[in-house]
Amino acid sequence: MEKHKKYNTEVTGAEAVILALLDENVTDVFGYPGGAIMPVYDALYDYMDRLNHYLVRHEQGATHAAQGYSRVSGKPGIVFATSGPGATNLITGIADAQIDSTPMVCITGQVHSHLLGTDAFQETDVVGISMPVTKWNIQVTKAEDIAPAIAKAFYIATTGRPGPVLVDITKDAQFGKTKYKHEKCESIRSYFPCPKVNEEEVNAAAELINNAKRPYILCGHGVLLSGAEKQLLALAEKADIPVASTLLGLSAFPPTHPLYVGYLGMHGNYGPNYLTNECDVLIAIGMRFDDRVTGNVSKYAKQAKVVHFEIDPSEINKIIHADAAVMGDAKESLDLLLPKIKSQKRTEWLKRFADCNDVEFEKVIKEAINPNSEKLRMAEVIHKFHNISNGNAIVVTDVGQHQMITSRYYKSNIPNHFVTSGGLGTMGFGLPAAIGAKVAQPNKEVVTVIGDGGFQMTIQELGTIMQSDIAVKIIILNNNFLGMVRQWQQLFFDRRYSFTEMKNPDFITIAKGYGIKGKKVTERANLEDALKEMYESKQAFLLEVVVENEENVFPMVATGASVSEITLE
């Protein structure tokens, strides 16, 4: 069917949805049909040669798949769901996308407009419910308003600080007739997605950086979202500044570069956390000073001047006061900053990080990756997997101890090749997000690392893998516990393991039921070969590795502690 065959001719509102998506260059959709979205699915039937639909097994899986798709492609992930429970099942994934600044367009069906507010079958006020966790949402009740609403949705989702949007379309609007015409949305009155960079702010930032003795860069997800990786590298190299990454900023800076000092956060590296309270100028680029990064705010970098590069005005001075705030896109801001920066060398300051890294290696890393214990440990699994993949795989994690271990021991060489749930910390994220990542990058190896607890939250998405033949590789680090909660119970609740021990099913048999090859490893001697078999498989593969059940993740910044009070054991 030719792209413009039905332009300016009468189509249904449902077909207008499909045409609008095609005009936004959408090729893939994740969804689950139902009564109120059925007209859209009926229209999709005629466009299956141009729009790939992936049938998930739960609507939450659709949102996480859309997130994974977006994070590795840079394009918004697209979701279809029906009204009522279908729409409410999207909320967790939408909230996750909102806090992690992931562009996503959710299209939900709704009951007929004359039934709104009557508690009709499968009616829910999804606009009201989703309002706190969307960047923008709208309910459409007329066919002629569908195409403009979708065009606006794409513009809002992808500009400025990205985020999820939701378009709720009543069933009569889907059945209604309209003349379709695509008009790309390029501006909205009163919406200014990207502040214009102020050169005076850039000058103030440059002055602080040039006069610094111990400057320190914290890079976040905003660097990746703006595509500012080269500018960040140029800044660090020109001024010889150490660079640490937030969880979502991982892969924004080359992990093998001598200026890369590690990753921040509660279970991040020792030096990057500890030395935050020794720098004299803290340069935050595309990060929001999340509590997992700052620890106790009253004790955070009090000795330092703070330079904050940020696209969202609401983040400036929200948590940490900025002495110089540069509003705007990170790439544009750094392009303006670079000519104003003086070349310097900071040998002694960089040595402080190297010394801290040596301490961490001796007290934590050496034993973690090459343990003396009989049982396998999470860190050695991820370390071996990193060596097998050379850091080139797209790695997606779920949430928990395995997430922190993977963040520490897997070094992603390629930008946007590390995907995880950061701000919301959503268990169940990993498997469907990996599906979306593989759909977006079919020629890349996509491996998801999941705990036994999180895997069972969205285990049904193995059905999506089976039906669509998606070659996702799965590593389950099975410690038969909800590991992160158990660690806190051990350290702060006198080992009172209240409902954190897991009696798990036979994961390999379950995978076999979905037509997915699997293998279980319990012995160190079999680990490397099993990892290679999984990684080299041409089809989906599930590798379960049974690990020590009371292993803890260190270093650790305890709740309420300062980053300089980070403990190594």
* Co-location of 251 and 337 in the same domain: yes
Which of the following is catalytic: 1, 3, 121, 342?
121
Write the pLDDT tens digit of every residue in 136-153: 999 999 999 999 999 999
Please say if 484 is a catalytic residue: yes
pLDDT on residue 239: 98
Which of the following is catalytic: 135, 171, 305, 384?
171
Report, as an integer, the average pLDDT of 436-455: 98
Which of the following is catalytic: 75, 122, 238, 565?
122
Position 522 pLDDT exceeds 80: yes
Report, as an integer, the average pLDDT of 205-230: 98
Tell me if 141 sits within 8 A of 127, measured CB to CB.
no
**Tokens 């992603």 sit on residue:** 412
pTM score above 0.85 = yes
* Co-location of 112 and 223 in the same domain: no
Least confident of 6-15, 66-75, 130-139, 300-309: 6-15
User: Domain with 500 in it: what CATH number?
Assistant: 3.40.50.970
In a domain, 51, yes or no: yes
Position 6 pLDDT exceeds 90: no
* Co-location of 310 and 253 in the same domain: yes
119: left (phi over 0), alpha (psi -120 to 50) or beta: left
In a domain, 369, yes or no: no
Phi, psi of 411 (to 5 degrees): -105, 105
The domain tally of the chain equals: 3
Mean pLDDT of the chain: 96
Report, as an integer, the average pLDDT of 402-416: 97
In a domain, 562, yes or no: no
Percent of the chain with pLDDT over 90: 98
* Co-location of 48 and 153 in the same domain: yes
In a domain, 403, yes or no: yes
Which of the following is catalytic: 104, 427, 484, 534?
484
Please say if 154 is a catalytic residue: no
Please say if 499 is a catalytic residue: no
Q: For residue 302, give its domain range.
A: 199-353
Report, as an integer, the average pLDDT of 156-169: 98
Position 1 pLDDT exceeds 60: no
Position 3 pLDDT exceeds 60: no
User: Domain with 273 in it: what CATH number?
Assistant: 3.40.50.1220
pLDDT on residue 4: 47
In a domain, 554, yes or no: no
Tell me if 135 sits within 8 A of 164, measured CB to CB.
yes
Which of the following is catalytic: 15, 24, 59, 544?
59
pLDDT on residue 311: 97
* Co-location of 348 and 266 in the same domain: yes
Write the pLDDT tens digit of every residue in 451-461: 999 999 999 99
Give 7's contacts (C-beta < 8 A, 6+ positions apart). Answer: 19, 180, 181, 182
* Co-location of 391 and 334 in the same domain: no
Report, as an integer, the average pLDDT of 391-418: 97
Query: 342-364: buried (b, 16+ CB within 10 Å) or exposed (e) per residue?
Result: eeeebeebbebbeebbeebeeeb
Q: How far apart are CA 294 and CA 433, in angstroms?
A: 27
Report, as an integer, the average pLDDT of 92-99: 98
Write the pLDDT tens digit of every residue in 347-389: 999 999 999 999 999 999 999 999 998 999 999 999 999 999 9
Please say if 171 is a catalytic residue: yes
pLDDT on residue 9: 80
Please say if 404 is a catalytic residue: no
Position 325 pLDDT exceeds 60: yes
In a domain, 288, yes or no: yes
